[in-house]
Chains A and B, each alone.
Chain A
Amino acid sequence: MDYYDVVFSGFGGQGILLAGDVLAHAAMLESKHVTWMPSYGVEMRGGAASCTVVISSERIGSPFAEAPCCLFCMSKPSLFKYQDKVKEGGLLIVNTSFVEASLVTRKDVTKICLPASEIAHQQVGEHKMANMVMLGMLINACKVVGMEKTEAAMEEIFSGSKKKTLPRMIRAVRCGYEWQPTADNGPIEGTLP
């Protein structure tokens, strides 16, 4: 059985739930079983936001992740909350525009620290699209869904009035997908799957 679960976490307003949504949607288009489970509570902009995406070749039981294969992290509080839960040998993707790479203390996981907001700002002129840059990196690193289905998923999600942002969103995902780490901007530590 192929089974992959990701916790997306950060602040409200960073597009955390949306990033999870795109991955989940792409997984559905890849004919996988998939669940997307948001954390929810009293609504508050700037408060914590997170969601869990489970992707499997078989029917999914729990939509929650006790020890996720991957953590997609865009804020310090969410790093502190979730980094110890990532399963051994798992993947940790951190936006260093918000979180110092030195705070990532796990040694037994693959770490990808990328300045996603800067990349988004430089490449698509919109630092808020950091979530899509991060997602592109995640898709490349975890190999659970392909770019083709990801773009197809985005076309379905960004339809109607949201359609005008689609080309830049896709560009942001591609930037993340193709991003090459260098020694000074945050090397990948560990081995990718």
Chain B
Amino acid sequence: MMRGSIALAEGAITAGCRYYFGYPITPQNEISEHLSALLPEVGGVFMQAESEIASINMLLGAAAVGARAMTSSSGPGISLMQEGLSYMAGSELPALIVNITRLGPGLGGIAACQGDYWQATRGGGHGDYRIIVLAPNSVQEMYSLTIKAFHLADKFRNPAMILADAILGQMKEPVTLSPPEVEIPAKPWALTGAKGRNPQLIKSLFLADGEMEKHIRHMHEKYRRLEETEVLVETDLEEQMDLLLVSFGSCSRMVASAVALARSRGFRVGLVRPITLFPFPADTVRQVSRLAGKVLTVEMNTGQMWDDVRLSVYPGCQCRLLARPGGSIPTPYQILEEIEKFIKAGDSLAKSVR
């Protein structure tokens, strides 16, 4: 039994991460507190920086010299990190950024919500870039997707983010741990001193004519490869379906309960849970929505992933949204009610924010 935040910290250690830079913010402090004890024991470095701005830039420095490194924060802190994230994406630097979200805008509150979906999946900082976003929905995944995130970041030389919330951070569940990783992939681009080779440079500034377009096209080629090869999605489908539910992260747990309730009442429903939010499982949503005809998206925000769902569904599908922003959690019975109404109704594209 382990708390989600602790599982995430343990996952980082398993993945060979030895450097952490962060600044305290609720509700993710258990991650940094745990790592502050663990990292020195394994020869790593834990640093409490003076701000999230400093944290992300220390992370940038550590990534530039080839280390597996991470930071963690929550909404307001992640906002402060957007500048650094943009530079890291532009400089093609791999690292893990953890966002245990809280309510926003502003100081908001510390309850669980999914209001940072857009910020996470659209880049968040300035410029034409994406970051890899993984959304665990269990304590086991807090552990295993953290390891996966380091792999993907290194493989694609791009920052990766774990997007979770206080439900996942505070909850305890049994976790199966994997053996620690000893080898980190070679990073010939890393700065290690110009010994026996020409000096190397990590940068995101491209001033010459056409240079920046070339760079961005190169980056987007990576994003296309991510979409082709690295999509992670969980599906729970039936052969015949009258309705498809789409939900991610902690919210998908409530939806899974609602699916079980609906099936016990004879409704034929399926569930698609995007695990990678970028790359988004567009193909899965398209194919499965074609079978179901009706798609109900359930999120703890006012409808952010709903954009991606509507871009992905098979043309002509009816889409509805059950949205609970501001720290409210949709209950399985509330979702069930929505499922029932939608299956019995005939309209399309109706949006209900409760």
Contact = CB atoms under 8 A, between A and B. Distances in A.
Contacts of B254: 61-62, 64
B174 A61 contact: no
B257 A25 contact: no
Contact of A61 (B170, B172, B253): B253
Nearest to B236: A59
A66 B258 CA distance: 12
Max count, chain A CB within 10 A of own CB: residue among B171, B172, B174, B331: B172
B27 A61 contact: no
B257 A37 contact: no
Nearest to B171: A37
Contacts of B173: 34-36
Max count, chain A CB within 10 A of own CB: residue among B173, B253, B331: B173
Contacts of B256: 59, 61-62
A34 B110 contact: no
A33 B172 CA distance: 11
A60 B332 CA distance: 12
A149 B8 CA distance: 27
B322 to A, nearest CB: 15
A95 to B, nearest CB: 24
A35 B172 contact: yes
Interface string B241-276: 000000000000111111110000000000000000
Contact of B257 (A33, A41, A62): A62
Contacts of A34: 1, 173-174
Interface string A8-51: 00000000000001001100100001111110110000000000
B1 A36 contact: yes
B58 interface: no
A21 B170 CA distance: 13
B1 A25 contact: yes
Interface string B22-41: 00000100000000000000
A62 B256 CA distance: 7
A186 interface: no
Contacts, number: 55
B113 to A, nearest CB: 14
A38 B260 CA distance: 24
Contacts of B332: 61-62, 66
B198 to A, nearest CB: 53
A24 B175 CA distance: 13
A63 interface: yes
A24 B172 contact: yes
B339 interface: no
B167 A37 contact: yes
B253 to A, nearest CB: 5
B226 interface: no
A40 B28 CA distance: 12
B257 A61 contact: yes
A28 B170 CA distance: 18
Given A34-B173, A62-B253, A62-B254, A40 B166 contact: yes
B267 to A, nearest CB: 15
A37 B1 contact: no
A44 to B, nearest CB: 13
Interface in B84-123: 110
A149 to B, nearest CB: 13
A41 to B, nearest CB: 7
Contacts of A25: 1
Contacts of B27: 40
Given A21-B1, A61-B256, A62-B253, A41 B170 contact: no
Contact of B174 (A28, A37, A64): A28
Interface of A: 21, 24-25, 28, 33-38, 40-41, 59-64, 66
Interface of B: 1, 27, 110, 166-167, 170-174, 253-260, 329, 331-333
- 3 pairs of A and B residues whose beta carbons are closest in the complex: A61-B257, A61-B256, A36-B172
Given A25-B1, A37-B171, A37-B172, 9 more contacts: A21-B1, A36-B171, A38-B171, A40-B110, A61-B253, A61-B254, A62-B331, A64-B331, A66-B332
27 contacts: A24-B1, A28-B174, A34-B1, A35-B171, A35-B172, A36-B1, A36-B173, A37-B167, A37-B170, A37-B171, A38-B170, A38-B171, A40-B170, A59-B256, A60-B253, A61-B254, A61-B255, A62-B254, A62-B256, A62-B257, A62-B331, A62-B332, A63-B167, A63-B253, A64-B329, A66-B331, A66-B333
